[in-house]
Amino acid sequence: MRNVRDYAVITGSYWAFTVTDGALRMLVLLHLHEIGYSPIEIVSLFLFYEFFGIVTNLLGGLLAARFGLKSTLFSGLFLQILACSMLAAARHDLTVALLMVAQALSGTAKDLTKMSAKSYIKLVVPEDDRRGLMKWVSVLTGSKNALKGAGFFAGGAMLSAFGFGGACVAMAVGLGVALALTSALLPRAAGKSKSKAAWKHLFAKDARINWLSAARLFVFGSRDVWFVLALPVFLASGLEWSSYEVGAFLALWVIGYGAVQATSPAWLSRKVREPPTARDLGTWTALLVVPLVAILFALRLDVSTSWSIVVGLCIFGVVFAANSATHSYLVVAYSDRDKVALNVGFYYMANATGRLLGTVLSGVVFQAAGSGLDGLKACIAVSIGFVVASTVCCVPLRLAERHSMQTTAGS
């Protein structure tokens, strides 16, 4: 029962952080667009967010293994409070340097909390309960994405209702409450490695983790290359949606995506009720091409732009949710309990690298192709290339998984 309570505390803190993370991203993006920043200028401010996510995931697993998951979760919440407070204090003079520092703090905070929460699942679920592991990973990941969608909505709504500074203050206060509860209720040693984690353990040596991480890099790059900047800016400028409408639409998409992900154990498992494998991951990854190609064809045939994007994005969301749920389960399932934080950290380092690459390309490609509908089309075309690369990575992953199973059976 103590492990379950600890998991509830760390998950609740992660949920609180997730809402503010989605809201802060939407606040910054829409506010900067409103005051005249170009797509490339906006993207450049998000680079520190993604870059420091890479560094944090690389080092965060080592820190968690040495000092426990409480230390990394506590640090993540504190850094997000600091970022919100900085932005609120300087709301009338948002310099580029300050925005980049705030994004660096927020990116570090996000990946510290994510790594802490997802690593802790391995400590709660019995070693041989693969279906239980799949269930709890999916619930955590799906609920997180649903709440991030709520954060998108909250960000757009708060910007319209309270202004940039007031929204940042409200988020800092909410996170302060979560930080106080985490500090009081979570044991310090949760998640510490029994043996001293060394620098040489930072990079995964298991071929399954390496290929899974490569697939993750490309698949999340495929999403962010059009979802992070090109889509919301096009909705706001090309289709003239208000900040409230953009935030609400993206929020509903992410909430639906999270709901599909949370319920995935009921329909992702095969007939024998076994959790998904690398083969299933390859299938779901390849299927991502279908809605992306369909959107491009619909736009080329002069079908309603709004309906083409909305319907295509909904189909993409369902397939992407299945893909992401399978990814999240496999990285935990492949990891030993004693080193789960190190493997999860390495894996999410690849995830952050893909997000960074996708974010950069989202601004560069969108602006280079015209910053309108042509820019959105170009970003979707790049996304298709990323999906193909991720699908290719699933082939050696399947071979590595098969080799691991044979080795385990023979030992």
Close Cβ partners of 304 (under 8 Å, ≥ 6 residues apart): none
Give the span between the Cα atoms of 395 and 60, in whole angstroms: 29
Contact by Cβ (8 Å): 193, 341: yes
Q: What is the pLDDT of residue 289?
A: 96
**CA 178 from centroid of its chain's CA atoms:** 20
Question: Residue 221: what pLDDT?
Answer: 93
Range of the domain at 219: 2-189+197-410
Tokens of 34: 């409103």
Over the stretch 302-350, which tens digit does the pLDDT of each residue have? 788 888 888 998 899 889 988 988 898 898 888 776 667 777 778 888 8
| DSSP codes joined into one string, 133-166 | HHHHHHHHHHHHHHHHHHHHHHHHHHHHHTHHHH
Q: How far is CA 254 from the centre of its chain?
A: 11
* pLDDT value, residue 272: 44
Q: How far apart are CA 203 and CA 381, in angstroms?
A: 32
pLDDT tens-digit profile of 362-393? 888 988 887 788 888 999 999 999 999 999 99
Q: Considering only 8-17, 60-69, 292-301, 322-331, which range has the smallest mean pLDDT?
A: 60-69
- Tens digits of residue pLDDT in 89-131: 877 777 777 877 887 888 788 878 877 777 777 766 776 777 7
| Count: domains in the chain | 1
pLDDT for 351 beyond 50:
yes
The band of 2, judged by pLDDT with boundaries at 50, 70 and 90, is: low
CATH number of the domain bearing residue 389: 1.20.1250.20
pLDDT-wise least confident of 149-153, 357-361, 380-384: 149-153
Q: Is 241 left (phi over 0), alpha (psi -120 to 50) or beta?
A: beta
**Cα 288 to Cα 226: distance, rounded to the nearest angstrom:** 14
- Name, in order, each residue with C-beta under 8 angstroms of 2's C-beta and a sequence gap of 6 or more: none
In this prediction, residues 67-79 reach a mean pLDDT of 80
pLDDT tens for each residue of 157-209: 777 777 777 888 888 888 888 888 877 776 655 555 555 554 555 555 688 99
State whether residue 205 is helix, strand or coil. Answer: coil
